[in-house]
Amino acid sequence: MKITLIGKLHGHQDGAIYNGYIFHFNNTGKCFVYDINNLSFDSERVCEFILDKADLIVPHCNSVSFGNEKYCETDEFPLLYGNIYNNYAKSENKLKGVTCVYRITRNGNEFKSSLVQIIEIGFCEDELWKSENDARPYGNFVIDNENGEYIAFTMRTGDKTTRYFGFDLPKLNDGQMDLKYGVNRVLLNKEDIKYSFDAEYQNFMQGATFKNGIVYTLEGFNADYPSAPPALRLVDVKKQKDIAYYNFIDYGLKIETELIDFVDDTCYYADDNGNFYILTF
């Protein structure tokens, strides 16, 4: 793998790129928008905005992806998906397996979002999902836009595996109205699983994306945590196994991993300090 530093961002979680804009999030639902064609090491933000209803649901944005479906045919951006992850770790209801779906609109350099749907894994308390003493049982996800699938995966500390579940990606009109949030909520249950498999254990999941049948999933912290180094793992969904593992320390990078996404065949990556790279495999 070749790593090329190309700029600097602000934001400390995952993000997604579409139509020349980088949407980079923090852990409370704030988004920093950049023009990917005008990046520098002192990049000015095009805009900042807060995700709709972030004061009510507080998304961590551990994983963020654009889908294919649009709220309206004339919209510039397709639906944006971002998960809650561990923001409710100390709450009675930890909101495990919850992903928020947003409509993103733009007026010049001003962006805003509207919460339009919630997707939730309905069996997070079942042994099919969780194991004993799970460190972070909240679940991550990627969107397979090629096949219209929502792929959820969770780190199972008890048996040191990562378990993957494939579902049909819910349509915007699916689900039942949730009066608390004012949008439809889709519950994905065990009978909705299209396939599942176990792969190698991911030691603390970070951002993730999907390309050509492969889950590109970041993990780990910084170099001060030798048991959980900053790394990138590639998982082949068809083969149902890991096919590559890259420890960023081997490449001289020691900062916690955060963002990963593709634009066509170009893979972009950012660490927790906002250093923005191109990864070439």
Domain total of the chain? 1
pLDDT of residue 69: 98
Q: Quote the pTM value.
A: 0.97
CA angle 132, 188, 25 (to 5 degrees): 80
Burial class from Cβ neighbours inside 10 Å (0-12, 13-18, 19+) for residue 255 reads middle
What share of the chain has pLDDT > 90, as a percent?
A: 97
pLDDT at 203 over 80: yes
pLDDT of residue 100: 98
Those residues with Cβ within 8 angstroms of residue 252's Cβ, 6 or more apart along the chain or in another chain: none
pLDDT at 102 over 90: yes
Burial class from Cβ neighbours inside 10 Å (0-12, 13-18, 19+) for residue 180 reads exposed
- Give per-residue pLDDT as tens, 57-66: 999 999 999 9
The residue that leads in pLDDT, 101 or 226, is: 101
pLDDT of residue 10: 86
pLDDT at 11 over 80: no
Question: Residue 256 sits in which domain range?
Answer: 2-280
- Give per-residue pLDDT as tens, 17-34: 999 999 999 999 999 999
pLDDT of residue 12: 85
Instruction: Summarize the confidence of residues 234-249 as an average pLDDT.
Output: 98
Instruction: Summarize the confidence of residues 83-104 as an average pLDDT.
Output: 95
Instruction: Summarize the confidence of residues 120-145 as an average pLDDT.
Output: 96
CATH classification of the domain holding 226: 2.120.10
Instruction: Summarize the confidence of residues 134-138 as an average pLDDT.
Output: 93
pLDDT at 151 over 80: yes
Please tell me the distance from the alpha carbon of residue 116 to that of residue 69, in angstroms, as a whole number: 12
What type of residue is 117?
Answer: Q
DSSP 170: P
